[in-house]
């Protein structure tokens, strides 16, 4: 579990394909000195497991499914990535709850200065947008952002200078792909509410209460 508050940037020093998977080496000498083999780390918003440390870098293995569903398959030597250690229960939750399980890939469509911040516009697939609301949270390459405006094609977010300084957003060219993860709480709410709706969109009979649903779960149905 993560918060979407990126701690630093890392540099890819190896992105070696092994069959349909990848061995990824990220150089970040000041990052995660208290981490151990087996710990989770978010790399551009993707939850990976550390398998080895070497000369100021850490190594992870990326599965074929992850390569297919995220932007990690496009990483090459020299690529910069956003890094965040897993959340501790004693930490402040400054961003929002991020699982590191990417919902889809979007694209950066616009970057425009606006006074003391920068407006970013992202295109996103419908499967992600159906879980997004204005003023809600979304993780873009592991960065917790607040949705300023929402359309049927994507969303915009206002990014403060501090976020730009410590993340890779400022370096991405227009058209670059980004990993998107919708707010997990919103996904749960949508799933639970859907259980009360009929295919026509009308509410289900009142007799099917939350107590009924809980009883069905406890009965193993």
User: Domain residue spans in the chain?
Assistant: 8-85, 104-187, 188-213
Q: Do domains 8-85 and 104-187 have the same CATH topology?
A: yes
Average pLDDT value for the chain: 89
H or E segment at 157? Answer: strand 154-159
Which has the minimum average pLDDT: 15-19, 55-59, 186-190? 186-190
Element holding 166 (H helix, E strand): helix 161-166
8-85 to CATH, choices 1.10.340.30, 3.40.50.720, 2.40.30.20, 2.70.180.20: 2.40.30.20
Nearest one of 187, 50, 65 to 131, comparing CA atoms: 187
Three-class SS state of 73: helix
Kindly state the tokens that stand for 91.
């930490």
Q: What is the pLDDT of residues 121-155, one digit of tens each?
A: 999 999 999 999 999 999 999 999 999 999 999 99
Question: pLDDT tens across 81-126, in order?
Answer: 999 999 988 887 888 999 999 999 999 999 999 989 999 999 999 9
pLDDT at site 206: 43
Task: Give 17-58 pLDDT, tens digit per residue.
Answer: 999 999 999 999 988 788 999 999 999 999 999 999 998 999
Provide the pLDDT confidence category of residue 217 given band limits of 50, 70 and 90.
Answer: low
Would you identify the CATH topology of the domain 104-187?
Answer: Elongation Factor Tu (Ef-tu); domain 3 (2.40.30)
Q: Residue 60 — left, alpha, or beta (φ > 0 → left; ψ -120 to 50 → alpha)?
A: beta
**What is the number of other CB atoms lying within 10 angstroms of the CB of residue 140?**
26
Q: How many residues can be counted in the chain?
A: 221
Element of type H or E holding 80: strand 80-85
């Amino acid at each position: 579990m993560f918060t979407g508050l990126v701690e630093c940037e890392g540099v890819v020093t190896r992105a070696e394909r092994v069959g349909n998977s990848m061995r990824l080496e990220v150089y970040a000498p000041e990052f995660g000195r208290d981490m151990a083999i087996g710990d989770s780390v978010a790399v551009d918003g993707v939850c990976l497991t550390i398998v080895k440390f070497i000369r100021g870098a850490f190594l992870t293995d990326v599965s074929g499914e992850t390569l297919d569903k995220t932007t990690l398959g496009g990483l090459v030597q020299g690529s910069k990535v956003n890094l965040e250690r897993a959340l501790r229960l004693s930490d402040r939750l400054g961003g929002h709850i991020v699982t590191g399980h990417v919902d889809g890939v979007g694209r950066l469509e616009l970057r425009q200065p606006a006074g003391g911040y920068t407006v970013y516009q992202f295109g996103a697939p419908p499967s992600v947008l159906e879980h997004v609301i204005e003023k809600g949270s979304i993780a873009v390459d592991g960065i917790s952002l607040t949705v300023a405006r929402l359309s049927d094609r994507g969303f915009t977010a206002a990014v403060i200078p501090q976020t730009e300084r410590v993340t890779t957003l400022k370096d991405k060219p227009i058209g670059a792909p980004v990993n998107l993860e919708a707010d997990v709480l919103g996904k749960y709410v949508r799933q639970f509410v859907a259980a009360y709706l009929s295919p026509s969109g009308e509410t289900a009979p009142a007799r099917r209460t939350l107590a009924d649903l809980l009883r069905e779960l406890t009965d193993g149905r």
